[in-house]
Structure 1
Amino acid sequence: MTVAFVGAGNMGGALVERLCEAAWPVTVCDTDPLRQQQALAAGASLADTPLSAVAQLGPQDALVIVVVDADQCREVLWGEQGASFGLRPGQAVVLCPTIAPEDTVAIAQRLAGQGIDCIDAPMSGGPQRARDGRMSLMVAAPQAVVDRHAKLLAALSLNVMRVSERVGDGARTKLVNNLLAGINLVGAAEVLAVAERMGMDLATTLDVIERSSGQSWIGSDRMRRAIADDLAPRAHVTLLEKDTRLAVAAARSVGFEGPLGTHAARVFKDAAEAGMADLDDAALLSFLRRPAPRP
């Protein structure tokens, strides 16, 4: 089986490396020259456009989209030189970005009109987990579609989470997961900022938290980097700003307004507007260390 990727950034690039190492034929389309060179070094072929990326796909092969948002997904599929113009019935689009459920459903319906399957498959866990197969892949699609592409899904992750047969439920699951991740990260950054004001050693404090009831994976992962002043972007602040915003909007669409999600989303928005948008989201500690504005 052949796989086409559009998007070979932190997550997409890790998946490209994983599949190439397993001897899958992979074609990559990415606009960033650095990502192109990394894909070549991994053993992938390059394509100039999404349309040319899918040119060599076989009758039951797939396109994996790993971009940032719904607008980019639509551009990949239906923009000038869009992949959908080269896809054929029986092939599938594996949709991995974190986007609103209604966008996932609309994209799937439009593809279905062309006889093309859509697998709603957002992912979570970060680049290293994607590279070694430990990331979560949240899959929602009809069973027959999943069965046809089971080998690819298993190659992408050892942790394929079968959510439902309803496209859109993968997106819904990812949003509630990322809302909790955002809440946990804001909480972890806040308590370490408090601990620092109290004169405590942050590394020791985090050691205790990791062995106590306040532990969270994202809190430990990001705050360890923040303490080391390692803000090289693995996941930009803009990503959880987008994801928490979409999650809060999804909650409101079903009449739910919780006490924490809105506040967490506001912290990410404020951090992005304060100039931290392109930093790793571990920068939240630096943001919360800042003195509060005077009234």
Structure 2
Amino acid sequence: MSGPCRVGIVGVGNMGGAVAQRLLGLGWSVNACDLVAAKVAALQALGARPAVDPAQAAEGAGALIVCVVDAAQSEAVLFGERGAAAALAPGAPVLLCPTIAPEDVAGLAARLAAGGLHPLDAPMSGGPARAREGTMSLMVACSDEAWQQAQGLVAALSSQVFRVGDRCGDGARTKLVNNLLAAINLAGAAEAMALAQRLGLDPGRTLDVIERSSGQSWIGSDRMRRALAGDYAPRAHVNLLRKDTRLAVAMARQAGFEGPLGPVAAGVFEQAAQAGLGELDDAALLQLLGGQRT
């Protein structure tokens, strides 16, 4: 796959939809599938072909991108009734992009390989804007054969591609390590801004200082700017980092590692979800720690 061809994308929400827009803009053909018809319709207006189920998304596609939420959805998309795996041509690359447990990625990859397909463990990071721009981080673990087969597609998706290994599951491990740090940084940023507000400091000016000083983090700046503007429209739901921190802490424990901050950050996201903030943007941690509610 050296140049534009037809690609099936199952799950065209925030990230999957942005990926679809990226590929369409580069001249690729896209079969778009999602449970939410409006998301598919928006892409159809840009030239995508709507697919009613994963099997139809795979029809005529030289590759498949799976951008759903969890392992159960991934399995249903690939191997459920009208699943995509059976409809793909032998040798087609399958990019597994959800953030799920490494053992789940490895299991799905093994089944895909047994069926003559080329699985790539390929979680994404950076948000929808960077996905549309082609600058998101793409962490890829796969066989050399799968890597070669998917080169054109991977290069089209992002200029920030990291081949982290040849063992499917290592992409997921890398993503969970990254997301655990992102969650720790975000929880810390929300705590610091809540403290600034309690002290009577101007929050915008305080964030100006932080962004140019040792407390700066990309996710802290990005989310706290939105929070200060009262913008909680979900780009990345609280529930996503709730899921990811749970997975990361479980992965750490399986490896015999117990860090002091990961479980605390996971607890903050669990608390936010229990407070009814789960479907808001994760900038809503400032509401939780600042004692505010929508």
**Does the alignment reach a TM-score above 0.5?**
yes
Residue 46 of structure 1 aligns with an amino acid whose one-letter code is P
In 2, Cα distance between equivalents of 1:180 and 1:144 = 32
The 2-side partners of 1:253 and 1:271 are apart by 26
Q: Which whole-Å CA distance do the structure 1 matches of 2:166 and 2:281 have between them?
A: 34
Q: How much has 1:88 moved relative to structure 2? A: 3.0
| Corresponding position of 2:189 | 188
CA distance in 2, matches of 1:250, 1:88: 34
Q: CA RMSD in A?
A: 0.9
1:36 & 1:248 partners in 2: Cα distance? Answer: 34
Partner of 2:69: 68
Equivalents in 2 of 1:238, 1:187: separation in Å?
18
Q: How many residues align?
A: 288
Unpaired segments ≥5 residues, structure 1 = none
| Residue of structure 2 in register with 1:13 after alignment | 17
Q: Distance in 1 between matches of 2:38 and 2:274?
A: 27
Q: Write out the 4+ residue segments of structure 1 that deviate beyond 2 Å after TM superposition.
A: none
Q: Distance in 1 between matches of 2:30 and 2:256?
A: 43
| Structure 1 position 269 matched with structure 2 position 270 | yes
Q: Distance in 2 between matches of 1:42 and 1:246?
A: 35
1:35 pairs, out of 16, 20, 39, with 39
Which structure 2 residues correspond to residues 46-195 of structure 1 after superposition, within 5 A? 46-57=50-61, 61-195=62-196
Residue matched to 2:27: 23
Contact 2:9 2:31 in 1 (8 A): yes
1:229-240 pair list within 5 angstroms: 229-240=230-241
Mark the runs of 5 or more structure 2 residues left unpaired by the alignment: none
Q: CA offsets per residue over residues 169-212 of structure 1, 9 Å max, x none? A: 10000000000000000000000001111000000000000000
- Which amino acid in 2 is paired with 1:267? V
Structure 1 residue 85, shift from structure 2 partner = 1.9
Q: Mean alpha-carbon deviation: is it higher for 215-224 or for 160-169?
A: 160-169
Distance in 2 (alpha carbons) for counterparts of 1:88 and 1:25: 16
Q: TM-score under structure 1 normalisation?
A: 0.96
| 8 Å contact kept, 1:4–1:26 | yes
The one-letter amino acid paired with 1:180 is L
Residues 70 and 103, structure 1, Cα contact 8 Å, conserved in 2: yes
What letter matches 1:231 in structure 2?
Answer: Y
SS of 2:161's equivalent? strand
Query: What's 2:250 paired with?
Result: 249
The answer to whether the 8 A contact 2:8-2:32 is kept is: yes
Q: Distance in 1 between matches of 2:41 and 2:84?
A: 22
